[in-house]
Amino acid sequence: MKNLNSFDQVELPEMGIPYAWKCPGKEKGLTVTVLGGVHGNETVGVDIVQNLLLKMMQGKVQQGVLQVALGNIEAIKQGKRFIEKDLNRCFGHPKGKSIEEIRANQLKPLLMDTDVLLDIHGTIKPSKAFLGSPNPDHKLGSILPYIGLPTLITGEGYAAKGNPIYSDAFVAEAGGLGITIEAGWLEDPKVMQIQKNIHDALVMLGIFEGDKSKITPVDMQIWDAYWNVIAGENFEFTKDWQNFQEVPAGTLIATDPEGNGDVVTSQDSIILFPKSKANLVVGNEACIIARKKAA
């Protein structure tokens, strides 16, 4: 649960979207957007947006444009993942009138005008921090190792093409580089660490001033998400699977009678984003299955 009073006193030019701010630098450059609180109970991104707003008000944006926004306002206030619908499934072709579909439509112009998106999340179950991107091969993808988090998830099962329901996939389809920063377990947010990672990335992208030679890239380990497992009516995990848990080929991960059938790994894999029972939504992602990408 977050009190957003301090955000109501931000003195930056209005941009016509509630809880979204934009700050141009002195020189031309890239437009970078940082989102926090797309899931309202993942507070790490809200804290980081607050910190970036301070720097924006202090006139620290050097080059390009820095845009920051809070995601699901009502959910942030209530400390919930979402109110009616998962906002990070609403960037596709929403037709409904839910709080989240309305918010996704508000944020879309911001995302369409983005060269690089950093969307900050926390995981439901304990996890190391890692990156996700639907399009790491983008011309600006060379920034990824400089964020300092060596694990990257990508692939068809991470974000299917055609209906970009996730913020990062939406930016990718609009021509930008979409990056999700999973900051680790939402109950143990590593705000300072992730703040530093994002600051380094913003220096490398020219937004903030800083000594680029002091920021060293990490060796990336890339995971190919080959299966986005969707929950059916009677979907049930066979175990309380954890993030990055390794499963050999032939493992029965979940049963889903009358739904999409049994979920069995066809090759040695890892499990990502396994939803707890309370967070399973029929028709939505139950987990992602990934394999190590050959170097």
Least gap, CB of 158 to Zn ion (angstroms): 14
- Determine how β-strand 130-132 pairs with β-strand 177-185: antiparallel
Least gap, CB of 151 to Zn ion (angstroms): 16
Task: Tell me whether residue 86 or residue 115 sits nearer to Zn ion (CB atom).
Answer: 86
Residue with tokens 């590593």: 190
- Determine how β-strand 285-292 pairs with β-strand 63-70: unpaired
275 binds Zn ion (CB under 5 A): no
CB 166 within 8 A of CB 182: no
What letters, b where the CB count within 10 A reaches 16 and e where it falls short, cover 68-100? bbbbbbebbeeeebbbbbbbbbbbbebeeebbb
Distance CA 115, CA 80 (A): 29
Residue nearest to Zn ion (CB): 121
121 binds Zn ion (CB under 5 A): yes
Contact map string, positions 10 to 49, toward Zn ion, x by CB under 5 A = -----------------------------x--x-------
Distance CA 221, CA 244 (A): 13
Task: Tell me whether residue 121 or residue 275 sits nearer to Zn ion (CB atom).
Answer: 121
Span from 49-57, 119-127, 209-217, 270-278 in contact with Zn ion (CB under 5 A): 119-127
Q: Which ranges constitute the DSSP H helices of 16-148? A: 44-57, 73-78, 99-112
Q: How many residues bind Zn ion (CB under 5 A)?
A: 3
CB 261 within 8 A of CB 272: no
Task: Tell me whether residue 22 or residue 121 sits nearer to Zn ion (CB atom).
Answer: 121
Least gap, CB of 43 to Zn ion (angstroms): 11
Contacting Zn ion within 151-180 (CB under 5 A): none
Task: Tell me whether residue 80 or residue 108 sits nearer to Zn ion (CB atom).
Answer: 80
- Tell me which residue of 227, 235, 222, 248 sits closest to 276, measured CA to CA: 235
Least gap, CB of 58 to Zn ion (angstroms): 29
Task: Tell me whether residue 23 or residue 90 sits nearer to Zn ion (CB atom).
Answer: 90
Distance CA 245, CA 224 (A): 15
Task: Tell me whether residue 39 or residue 199 sits nearer to Zn ion (CB atom).
Answer: 39
Count of residues making up the chain: 295
138 binds Zn ion (CB under 5 A): no
Residue type, 281: V
Least gap, CB of 82 to Zn ion (angstroms): 10
Least gap, CB of 22 to Zn ion (angstroms): 23
Task: Tell me whether residue 42 or residue 101 sits nearer to Zn ion (CB atom).
Answer: 42
Binding site for Zn ion (CB under 5 A): 39, 42, 121
